[in-house]
């Protein structure tokens, strides 16, 4: 390992304690720690875990709500060469049992308040032999009790920044979630991009009010840490508590969704709390008058395209000025291609799979060798999402990749056609399947559910598609149903095939 040119999360913390010795790093309830105090707490956890046999490659599982100990646990894993995994605390005991078995952690940091019953049941079901430490308590068997017994000295053991340090579970598109492994380098690289676009500095105070098992919150948490700002944590979202924290801590950023904004507007309509320190997106005038409108590039043109597997964001609307694409332009720390099923780049204007490479891309999924082989084919990360490169170089996200329908030599992606179908004013939801055809291989059939009280004919639907997408992609026939069959949230395409004669998909034999 090249120590001269290496930088890990642990190294960043070591530097922050020197650069910002008086800066508040963490605020959580009555707990408040400067960067040196935070580093000492992390070192105590490191030394206690190392004494218990925790070493490189070890895994720490977090079963709890938002708390400063999440960041401490991650940084302890970073200094040990291990991996930290925060998971959705809203899951059932059976779902948590799966996660415990899948992660196979050496250490579990768990919470009693609100979720203790589900956690204990999951622990019993899993038969876990890990060290279990309750984080919201004191004494034997607790996080704080362990810290009190250990030294605050920093051994500064070298760690390879290419190693994974954060594991985050992704959506269960194939029936089970996968834990994306993100390296020190991926996190630190994305921090710099987010810091630039969100205008984060050491003066930034971020209210961690979004779920920290989700990358959308976590990437700003990490950027705030990296730039020497202050991370403020709240266990769960409550409008009054958010108002108090924003006022008392002078929060400049927060992860606040629309329904919570409405609750804050109603709760604070008499102006009890001063929220002017908060830089936020503009909204209805009551909200906009309460806060300071954010003028950062991210706020002026938020979002883009991303996923957990690329540490949050791969393209940004804030980059490159006006764009034809719906998802902006590629991050300066990544390469993006739009490819056909054989991995060949398609021409601008053509739909294909979004693939990427660069330092922000995950190392792979934990304990999923077959999936990793598929998703990293050709030394590109295959997103399983469809997109299109526009003539001006920007990117449009089309939708998740499903089975390909092949008509003659043309690949037809259901997500693109379904997107077109749902733009018809009478259509509530729609799906397409491929129907075997001796001449063409397959024909496109649309299955459509109309909005209540709306009417449309087969010709209406086909003509709508003909006018919006290439003619070979349009449905040749349309079936009308009351609702699409589903498996959970996902459309049950197998049921549609069985009912309406679908089949003959490429690669299906």
In which band, very low, low, confident or very high, does the pLDDT at 108 lie, cut at 50, 70 and 90? very high
Give tens-digit pLDDT for 144-193.
999 999 999 999 999 999 999 999 998 655 557 899 999 999 999 999 99
Give tens-digit pLDDT for 269-282.
999 999 999 999 99
Cα 386 to chain center, whole Å? 18
Average confidence (pLDDT) over 117-140 = 97
Average confidence (pLDDT) over 49-78 = 98
Which CATH topology does 3-183 take? Rossmann fold (3.40.50)
Contact of 392 with 376, CB cutoff 8 Å: no
CA dihedral 286, 302, 259, 226 (to 10 degrees): -100
* CA–CA gap between residue 477 and residue 447 (Å, rounded): 9
What does residue 114 show for φ and ψ, rounded to 5 degrees?
75, -35
Contact of 334 with 362, CB cutoff 8 Å: no
Contacts 24+ apart (CB under 8 A), 50-55: 50/80, 50/155, 51/150, 52/131, 53/106, 54/80, 54/82, 54/106, 54/107, 55/80, 55/81, 55/82
In which band, very low, low, confident or very high, does the pLDDT at 91 lie, cut at 50, 70 and 90? confident
Give tens-digit pLDDT for 211-229.
999 999 999 999 999 999 9
In which band, very low, low, confident or very high, does the pLDDT at 132 lie, cut at 50, 70 and 90? very high
Is the per-residue pLDDT at 371 higher than 60? yes
Residues in the chain: 509
Reported in sequence order, the residue ranges of 322-469 that DSSP labels E, i.e. its strands, are 329-330, 335-339, 351-357, 364-365, 381-389, 395-400, 405-407, 410-412, 427-437, 441-450
Give tens-digit pLDDT for 29-44.
999 999 999 999 999 9
Is the per-residue pLDDT at 292 higher than 90? yes
In which band, very low, low, confident or very high, does the pLDDT at 507 lie, cut at 50, 70 and 90? low
Largest Cα–Cα distance of the chain, in whole Å? 75
List alpha helices for 282-396, DSSP H.
Answer: 285-290, 297-300, 369-375
CB proximity list for 311: less than 8 A, separation 6 or greater = 182, 186, 187, 189, 190, 215, 219, 360, 362
CB atoms within 10 A of CB 438: 5
Q: What is the CATH number of domain 405-500?
A: 3.30.300.30
What does residue 410 show for φ and ψ, rounded to 5 degrees?
-95, 135
CA angle 204, 193, 6 (to 5 degrees): 100
Domain positions in the chain = 3-183, 305-400, 405-500
CATH 2.30.38.10 fits 305-400, yes or no: yes
* CA–CA gap between residue 178 and residue 7 (Å, rounded): 27
Provide the phi-psi class of 469: left if phi over 0, else alpha when psi is between -120 and 50, else beta.
beta
Is the per-residue pLDDT at 406 higher than 90? no
Give tens-digit pLDDT for 379-391.
999 999 989 999 9
Percent of the residues in the chain that have a pLDDT greater than 90, as a whole number: 87
What is the pLDDT at residue 398? 85
- First and final CA of the chain: distance in angstroms? 47
Contact of 319 with 307, CB cutoff 8 Å: no
Percent of the residues in the chain that have a pLDDT greater than 70, as a whole number: 98
Residue 204: closest CA among 239, 247, 152, 251: 251
Contact of 11 with 187, CB cutoff 8 Å: no
């Amino acid at each position: 390992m090249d120590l001269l040119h290496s930088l890990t999360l642990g190294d960043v913390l070591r530097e922050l304690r020197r650069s910002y010795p008086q800066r508040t790093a963490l605020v959580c309830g009555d707990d408040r720690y400067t960067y040196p105090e935070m580093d000492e707490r992390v070192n105590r956890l490191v030394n206690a875990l190392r004494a218990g046999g925790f070493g490189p490659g070890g895994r720490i599982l977090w079963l709890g709500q938002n708390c400063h100990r999440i960041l401490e646990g991650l940084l302890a894993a970073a200094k040990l060469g291990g991996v930290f995994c925060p998971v959705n605390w809203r899951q059932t005991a059976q779902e948590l049992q799966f996660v415990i078995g899948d992660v196979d952690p050496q250490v579990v940091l768990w919470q009693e308040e609100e979720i203790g019953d589900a956690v204990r049941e999951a622990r019993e079901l899993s038969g876990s032999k890990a060290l279990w430490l309750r984080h919201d308590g004191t004494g034997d068997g607790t996080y704080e009790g362990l810290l009190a017994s250990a030294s605050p000295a920093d051994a500064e053991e070298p760690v390879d920044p290419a190693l994974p340090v954060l594991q985050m579970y992704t959506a269960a598109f194939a029936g089970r979630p996968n834990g994306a492994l993100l390296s020190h380098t991926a996190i630190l690289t994305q921090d710099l991009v987010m810091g630039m676009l969100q205008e984060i500095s050491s003066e930034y105070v971020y209210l961690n009010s979004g779920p920290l098992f989700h990358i959308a919150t976590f990437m700003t948490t990490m950027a705030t840490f990296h730039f020497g700002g202050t991370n403020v944590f709240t266990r769960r979202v409550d409008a009054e508590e958010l108002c108090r924290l924003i006022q008392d801590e002078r929060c400049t950023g927060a992860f606040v969704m629309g329904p919570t904004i409405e609750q804050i507007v109603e709760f604070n309509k008499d102006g009890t709390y001063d929220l002017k320190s908060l830089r936020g997106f503009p909204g209805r005038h009551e909200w906009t008058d309460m806060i300071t409108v954010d003028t950062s590039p991210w706020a002026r043109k938020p979002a883009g395209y991303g996923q957990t597997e690329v540490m949050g964001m791969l393209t940004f609307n804030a980059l490159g000025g006006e764009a034809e694409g719906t998802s902006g332009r590629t991050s300066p720390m990544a390469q993006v291609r739009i490819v056909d099923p054989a991995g060949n780049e398609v021409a601008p204007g053509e739909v294909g799979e979004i693939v990427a490479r660069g330092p922000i891309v995950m190392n792979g999924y934990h304990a999923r060798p077959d999936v990793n082989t598929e998703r990293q084919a050709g030394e590109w990360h295959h997103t399983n999402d469809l997109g299109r490169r526009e003539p001006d170089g920007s990117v449009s996200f089309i939708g998740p990749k499903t089975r390909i329908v092949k008509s003659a030599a043309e690949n037809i992606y259901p997500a693109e056609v379904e997107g077109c179908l749902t733009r018809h004013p009478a259509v509530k939801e729609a799906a397409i399947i491929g129907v075997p055809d001796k001449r063409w291989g397959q024909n496109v059939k649309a299955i459509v559910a109309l909005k209540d009280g709306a009417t449309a004919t087969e010709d209406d639907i086909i003509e709508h598609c003909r006018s919006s997408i290439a003619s070979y992609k349009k449905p040749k026939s349309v079936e009308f149903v009351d609702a699409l069959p589903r498996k959970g949230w996902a459309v049950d395409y197998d049921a549609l095939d069985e009912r309406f004669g679908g089949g003959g998909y490429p690669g299906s034999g």
